Amino acid sequence: MNVRRNTVLLAVAMAVYSSVLQLTAAVSSITFVLVTGIEGLLGLGPAIFLIASGLAAVPAGRLMDRVGRKPVLLGGYVMSAVGCCLTALATNIESAVVLLIGFGLTGAANGVALLIRTAAGDMYPPERRARGISYVLFGAVFGAILGPAVFGPLFSDRELDAAALTVPWLAAAGISLIALVVVSLVTPDPKVIAERFARDDDRPAPPAAPLAEILRRPGVRPAMLAALASFGVMVSVMNLTGYVVVDHHHHHQSDVFPIIGAHVLGMYALVLFVGALIDRIGRPVALAAGLLVMAVSTIGMLAFSSVFATAVLLFLLGVGWNVSFVAATAQMVDLTEVSERGRLIGFNDRLSAFLGAGLALLGGYALDSIGVAALAIGATAIVAAPVLWLAPRIPAFSR
């Protein structure tokens, strides 16, 4: 069924496109401030990305259930290329309107691209599903190297102004088109593979249940709670790190890319080990463990401010997210039929993106008004609180 070939292609696409995600994380706040001149709303830049991502996730997930995974992913990469080009134009002509449109399209594309893990989960049976998802996500490890290698030199020894951001955003558009070409080679569509697994079970495929019914299934809400907390905190902290490093810790803008690269490395470097571990110990324990690792990393922002220490903390933030997010995704795929997965994961991604947008806005305001302590303490509370609710219920969770 070409599972291995498809897995490699999706992993390569993940590797390529993750460098675009690094650019948005590293410079979205700075881009917004330099183009609009509004520092008090520095969190609005990443918030626009996340809101657009959330708005796109549900229709993209439903469309995936209807027409397949591949066509939707291809459309997402086209949106990314157009959005990055418009953002580049905005930095050159300093147009806030063009910037908002570019951010919106790029954010929507990110929401679609994140659904690549639905395709990954389709191609593997339940007992190997977390590992299958991890194989595809592992491609982002190479993206962690590619991002700093491509974008770091573009900022080195340059005065940071809006025009300096034009070329990096154009490069991101080109990278999006490379991901488009790679995914176009995937065949058959992962949804077809999942349907073959379902036929091998010798049972007729039931009709897709309404989303409200899916949400009432045991194990779905705990998985979503962990996914919400982990994704919301991860993206808000990641997107605000560039401003923290440059404005609060007074490092150079080029220092942001090794830090974001370390974060992406943490998100995916151990993913092969993490996937196998989750399949062995079960989803519930992994959900709580990942959130605890994230809490350790965010509270550490109170004590450390060097580039190296910040990179280590962001690496741990990525590791914690990886554990909880892969476990949550695997559990949601386990608990849904082929025709239901896109809508559930898309709905989860919408809520996660909206939470991340709210946290980015609130965190940006708190960061500008109070300082790094507000961001660190708030993020720690958000990821630690669900563990208190999850831990006593771990034996009752389904694996």
pTM of the model: 0.73
Given a cut of 60, whether residue 368 has pLDDT beyond it is: yes
Q: Do 284 and 390 meet the contact criterion of CB atoms below 8 Å apart?
A: yes
CA angle 320, 232, 339 (to 5 degrees): 90
Instruction: Tell me the C-alpha distance between 356 and 368, whole Å.
Output: 18
75 pLDDT band, cuts 50/70/90, is very high
Q: Which of 70-74, 190-194, 320-324 has the highest mean pLDDT?
A: 70-74
Would you call 363 exposed, middle or buried from its count of C-beta atoms within 10 A (0-12, 13-18, 19+)? buried
The reply to whether omega before 188 is within 30° of 0 (cis) is yes
Instruction: Tell me the C-alpha distance between 183 and 198, whole Å.
Output: 24
Q: What is the DSSP string of 30-68?
A: HHHHHHH--STTTTHHHHHHHHHHHHHHHHHHHHHHHH-
**Mean pLDDT, residues 6-17:** 90
CA–chain centroid gap for 372, Å, is 23
Given a cut of 80, whether residue 365 has pLDDT beyond it is: no
272 pLDDT band, cuts 50/70/90, is confident
Task: Name the DSSP class of 24.
Answer: H
53 pLDDT band, cuts 50/70/90, is confident
CA angle 161, 232, 283 (to 5 degrees): 140
Q: How many CB atoms lie within 10 A of CB 340?
A: 23
Residue 7: give its domain's CATH number: 1.20.1250.20
398 pLDDT band, cuts 50/70/90, is very low
What's the mean per-residue pLDDT of the chain? 82
Helices (H), the chain: 3-36, 44-67, 69-93, 96-113, 116-122, 129-137, 140-155, 166-184, 190-200, 211-215, 220-243, 256-268, 271-281, 283-299, 307-334, 341-369, 372-390
Helices (H), 37-162: 44-67, 69-93, 96-113, 116-122, 129-137, 140-155
**Mean pLDDT, residues 143-172:** 71
Task: Name the DSSP class of 394.
Answer: G
- Residues 6 or more apart in contact with residue 321 via CB below 8 angstroms: 230, 231, 234, 266, 267, 290, 294
**pLDDT at position 37, please?**
76
**Which structure tokens are listed for 272?**
């092969």
Range of the domain at 239: 3-396
Given a cut of 80, whether residue 390 has pLDDT beyond it is: no
Residue 9, amino acid: L
Instruction: Tell me the C-alpha distance between 314 and 260, whole Å.
Output: 7
201 pLDDT band, cuts 50/70/90, is low
Structurally, the chain folds into a number of domains equal to 1
Taking alpha carbons only, the member of 3, 317, 294, 231 closest to residue 129 is: 3
396 pLDDT band, cuts 50/70/90, is very low
